[in-house]
Amino acid sequence: MKTLMIIVCLIFLANVAGAQSPDRTKTRIIRNATVLTVSHGTLVNTDVLIRNGKIAAVGQNLKAPDDAQVIDATGKFVSPGIIDAHSHTMMDGSVNECTKSVTSMARTQDILNPTAIGIYRELAGGTTAALLLHGSCNAIGGLSTTVKLKWGHPAADFPIPGATPGIKFALGENPKRTNFNIPGLQPRYPATRMGVEETIRDAFARARDYKRDWDDYRAGVARDEKNLIPPRRDLELEPLVEVLEGKRFVHSHCYRADEILMLMNLADELGFKVRTLQHVLEGYKVASEIARHGAMASAFADFWGYKMEAYDAIPYDVAIMTRHGVVSSVNSDSDERARRLNIEAAKMVRYGGLTEDEALKLVTLNPAMQLGIENRVGTIDVGKDADVVVWSAHPLSVYTHVEQTFVDGELLFDRQADIARRAQLEAERKTLEAAESNKSPAQGGTPPRAPSAIRRAYTHDDDIQDGEDRRP
């Protein structure tokens, strides 16, 4: 009992200590690595100095203060942290508010779960930031959150301050619900692609009226008119007004070339630009049009054929769009794929002949540009946030693994420390399992979970309608 108390006290202290550790402001120097800057080429035998959460210096034989932690990266590679431009990690409850076709009042920021283990595993795969999106159930979905994966911090620390806010749109089979058969579910408009377009157009027409009503009211107040009743504040329409005013990015899930063209034309008609087309697996068919509109693209590397609208997908999609001048990225849409986005990027060397630098850009600088945070992250440049990953081999190699991951200069994943900690966790487990409240009931008791033939790897799966494995 006493040992239990001691161990639990230690855990409690460790939790508390972690929150206040000086780790955040520690000065670090990564020595003698091959640094893939992404912005200005590859530098060999180079040091990276991290101070106060920023990249303080990049160069050979840097001078470092005596109290700096030295990381010997001889033979290793350093890259900017990977940015996942389509994620549903760390969200509590459903990622979809499916009950209406327009749910712009729903906010992903309300349901952040900073303790989701997916965050830690993604850090172990080199991912340091993500765009957390609403699901693709609705033509107009909820508001997104751009986060850094700050494992161990409270939820309020995750959203990147100053990042331009976003909203999710969805086109095609998911919002019109043709790719799953649920008898008894009340049919919801729209059920066709025409209806999806009309839903979006109608929502913006209402947003325009809403904006006008408020402008009229404010003008009336300015004129000192009496007895004016303000219009109703409508949380659904306010984000759409922000889109019209260019203050909120539109990230739209889409597959087929016709709907991609439809959305861009609609956006031009309504007076805004689509920021990113997500999935966009037929983007290669309309790459010039996408470039002309000014949209960017975020796609899968080689995932295809899981529903009708993904049938014409080809792994050369990203390469073709890149060659046509579309700023493209490769995303995960999955807690599992988000752990190996480096390999997804590497596939684009094989499919389409992107250079290694271009491929690495697909998961670093390009998604940073798409999220509007390229001034802070996405490359290794002096003055940028120290979101940096140390790899055992070139990040595009299948043999590589992550040694350390830094976010804002804080060491949030360390492979050696993780391995060393396993014994301690085992000991803690043994003690906890012996505690009285963790013992099984004397009689009765429901059957416990046991391994079965088919097991879902991750209990939380994201936008499953986009083709994730739905078996249990």
Partner 1 sequence: MIMRNVRLVIVSLALMLLLTIVVSWQLRSAAQRHTATDTYAITNARIVTVSGPAIDRGTIVIRDGLIAAVGANVAAPPDARPIDGTGLTVYPGIIDASTTLGIPRPSPTPGAAPGGLAALFASQAAPSATSPNSTQPPGMQPEILASDLIKPGGPEIEAARNVGITSAQTAPRGNVFLGQSAVINLAGDSPQQMIVRSPVALYVGLNPLGGGQYPGSLMGVFASIRQMLLDARRYQEANEIYERNPRGLKRQNYDKSLAALQPVIAGRMPIVMQADREREIERVLDLAKEYNLQMILNGGLEADRLAARLKAANVPVLLSLNFPKRTTAASPEAEPEPLRILRERVEAPRTAGRLAAAGVRFAFQSGGMTSITDYLANAAKAIDNGLSREEALRAMTLRPAEILGVASQLGSIEVGKIANLTITRGDIFDKNRRIAYVFIDGRPLDLRPTAEIGSRGPNASGTWSLTVNLTGSGNEKQEFTAMLSLQQRAERLTGSLQGQLGSGTISAGTISESDVNFTVPITFPGPGSQTTDAIFTGSLAGNQISGTVQIVGRGAGTFTATRSTVPTSAPAPTPSPDR
Distance (Å, rounded) from C-alpha 157 to C-alpha 75? 34
Contact 134, 143 (CB under 8 A): yes
**Binder to partner 1 among 22, 41, 65, 93 (CB under 8 A)?**
93
182 binds partner 1 (CB under 8 A): yes
- DSSP, collapsed to helix, strand or coil, labels residue 226 as coil
Pick the closer one to partner 1 by CB: 55 or 143.
143
**Binder to partner 1 among 223, 227, 419, 457 (CB under 8 A)?**
227
**Binder to partner 1 among 55, 73, 78, 155 (CB under 8 A)?**
155
- CB of 86 vs partner 1, minimal distance in Å: 17
Looking at 98-106, 244-252, 305-313, 403-411, which segment touches partner 1 (CB under 8 A)?
98-106
Biggest distance spanned by C-alpha atoms of the chain: 76
Distance (Å, rounded) from C-alpha 84 to C-alpha 127? 7
- Can you state the angle between helices 193-222 and 257-270, rounded to 10 degrees? 20
- CB of 439 vs partner 1, minimal distance in Å: 6
Pick the closer one to partner 1 by CB: 223 or 471.
471
Pick the closer one to partner 1 by CB: 114 or 294.
114
Distance (Å, rounded) from C-alpha 31 to C-alpha 24? 19
Strands 249-254 vs 166-170: parallel, antiparallel or unpaired: parallel
- CB of 237 vs partner 1, minimal distance in Å: 11
**Binder to partner 1 among 223, 422, 446, 457 (CB under 8 A)?**
446
**Binder to partner 1 among 96, 136, 174, 332 (CB under 8 A)?**
96
- CB of 48 vs partner 1, minimal distance in Å: 34
**Binder to partner 1 among 398, 419, 449, 457 (CB under 8 A)?**
449
* 3 state SS for 295-306: CEEEECCCCCCC
- CB of 372 vs partner 1, minimal distance in Å: 23
* CA neighbor of 45 nearest in space, from 61, 56, 29: 61
Q: Which of residues 416-445 bind partner 1 (CB under 8 A)?
A: 425, 428-429, 432-433, 435, 437-441, 444-445
Tokens representing residue 172 in the block: 């095609």
Tokens representing residue 237 in the block: 């329409």
Contact 279, 254 (CB under 8 A): yes
154 binds partner 1 (CB under 8 A): yes
- CB of 108 vs partner 1, minimal distance in Å: 7
* CA neighbor of 108 nearest in space, from 90, 125, 123: 90
**Binder to partner 1 among 2, 186, 419, 423 (CB under 8 A)?**
186
- DSSP, collapsed to helix, strand or coil, labels residue 168 as strand
Looking at 160-168, 175-183, 214-222, 337-345, which segment touches partner 1 (CB under 8 A)?
175-183
Pick the closer one to partner 1 by CB: 243 or 343.
243
**Binder to partner 1 among 80, 126, 142, 283 (CB under 8 A)?**
142
Q: Where are the beta strands (DSSP E) in 60-148?
A: 69-72, 77-80, 82-87, 127-132, 140-148
346 CA to centre of own chain: 19
Distance (Å, rounded) from C-alpha 39 to C-alpha 365? 8
Tokens representing residue 166 in the block: 């976003």
235 binds partner 1 (CB under 8 A): yes
Q: What would the x/- binding string for partner 1 be over residues 106 to 125, using CB under 8 A? A: xxx-xxxxxx----------
Phi, psi for residue 259 in degrees, rounded to 5: -75, -30
Distance (Å, rounded) from C-alpha 55 to C-alpha 37? 12
Binding residues for partner 1, rule: CB under 8 A, are 4, 8, 11, 92-100, 103, 105-108, 110-115, 134, 142, 154-156, 181-186, 188, 227-230, 232-235, 425, 428-429, 432-433, 435, 437-441, 444-452, 455-456, 459-460, 470-472
